[in-house]
Amino acid sequence: MAWTWQFEKADGTSTEPPAPVEDFATQGDAESWVGENWKELLESGVDQVRLLEDGTEVYGPMSLHAAAE
């Protein structure tokens, strides 16, 4: 199984991350990676992500922007 992130603009169009991202062996590894790198992704123009397992969407879109209070 390969876990990957799909990177998107706010309107759902695909965009590229600032650097190539490898596939992850586990969901936890993928989630940890995005948790550590979300600020850099946001600064590079990525607004939201979707988590895929072998090309099938697991969840998303998940916004990288802070929730409005």
Tens-digit pLDDT profile for the chain (69 aa)?
A: 899 999 999 999 999 999 999 999 999 999 999 999 999 999 999 999 999 999 999 999 999 998 765
pLDDT reported for residue 66: 85
Give Cα separations from 54 to 18, 25, 50, 62 (angstroms): 22, 11, 13, 18
Q: DSSP string spanning 21-57?
A: ---BSSHHHHHHHHHHHHHHHHHTT--EEEEEETTEE
pTM comes to 0.91
Look at residue 67 in the predicted model and tell me its pLDDT: 74
